Amino acid sequence: MPKSLTHGKWTPSPNKGIREVDSKGPVPDTPAFRNASLQGNKGLCGNVTGLMPCEANVLRKGHKNKKILFVIVFPLSGSMILSLIVLGIFFSSKRTTDSLEKQESGLNDGQLLSISAIDFDGRFLYEEIINSTKDFGAMYCIGKGRSGSVYRAELSFGDTVAVKKFHPLSDDIELVNQKEFLNEIRALTQIRHRNIVKLYGFCAAPKHSFLIYEYIEKGSLATILSNDEAAKELDWEKRINVVKGIAYALSYMHHDISPPIIHRDISSNNVLLDSEFEAHVSDFGTAKLLEIDSASWTRLAGTCGYIAPELAYTMKVTKKCDVYSFGVLALEVIKGVHPGDVIPLLLSSFSETNVLFEDVLGLDQRLPPPSPGVQDKLRLIMKVASSCLNVNPESRPTMYSVSQMLSA
């Protein structure tokens, strides 16, 4: 009610009342107002006949305000919550994107550049490998090569992996373009074949650079063939299956994926055997990922003794280079040692029908003589291997043809 009415000396007319006054609020508790005709003034309250008590009116108004408050606040709260959720998703996504961009930005932050089969944060996995190998201690080393050493790493979450740690990069061994390198690694991690070692990823850090592979129990074919007891365990049937497994792996790499992958370094060091003596080709693509310019590599991709002769003058790596290396390796599996100087003799007798390949090559004497059925399989392997060693690359069979011939 207006202050002029509550505090002034105004006296209502007995006939007119206060209906014409647009008033609100409590009516003063004075005789003048108590005797006034105030009915119909819904905005007024007080101890006057015809008006609601002020306390009840206030409660009703408060209840109404609460309704309005609920109606307004809840939609606002819902909108705010929805907005916060959207913002949260946006910033979370941005952090993930930023993290991935940071992961792939270069080789200086110790992060894993590419990881496939093990779903863990790059830095966590990096630290896991460092801890599980005691910073690549000698007792965890299971093999050595020109480009690096291989370590066995038992990770805390139960998996065991093989880690190939590269020798410190120097002026004559440099990583190729980082983006290209990362793309190559990603492509290699997508390869899935029973006779190819799974590559989980690559890690590059200022102190260490390494590849993370599936762990294969029995180690390299070279190690097994160099150990008399282990070589005896690798009987003729198992050796035949090893040769077939290598052929299947190379056929897959050359003909079943796009773009095809040339291994570039097929040798007994890069074939691993599992607990069932199944062959697994490893280190595929590694030579392509490194620019080598040192005396030990002589700028030729591959291992001395397995390198195709045309590379000496063409310096061009092709699928037929892998075919040649396979031929050498297949003979090594049968003979038990690298065929070496026997290769020219074997090639010269290739067209002579009266000469037995086993007489020229010589079978591994640590094993008992093969049965007639097994001997036929060995002769087929030696014949196919000899065709792979043809001096003319174009005259060598494809790895697909090789795998088909060995499966016949």
Amino acid 144 reads K
Q: Which residues lie below 8 Å from residue 293, measured CB to CB, with a gap of 6+? A: 172, 173, 299
Catalytic residue positions, numbered: 265
CA distance 328 to 386: 8
> Contact, 305 vs 338, CB < 8 A?
yes
Q: How far is CA 326 from CA 127, 248, 253, 307, in A?
A: 38, 11, 13, 10
CB 289 within 8 A of CB 184: yes
**Strand 199-204 versus strand 173-175 pairing type:** unpaired
Contact of 286 with 211, CB cutoff 8 Å: yes
Binding site per annotation, positions for ATP:
165
CB-CB neighbours of 70 under 10 Å: 10
Half-sphere CA count of 109, side-chain side, radius 13 A: 14
**Angstrom distance (rounded) from CA 86 to CA 354:** 81
Q: Which two tokens stand for residue 85?
A: 């959720």
DSSP state, residue 357? H
Binding-site annotation, residues: 165
Give which of 174, 196, 306 is closest to 251, Cα–Cα. 196
Token pair belonging to 269: 């060091």
Contact 18, 41 (CB under 8 A): yes
Single out the residue of 192, 304, 310 nearest to residue 253, CA to CA: 192
DSSP letter assigned to residue 82: H
Cis peptide before 259 (omega within 30 of 0): yes
Residue for token pair 């001096």: 391
DSSP, residue by residue, 84-121:
HHHHHHHHHHHHHHHHHHHHTS-SSS--EEEE-SS-S-
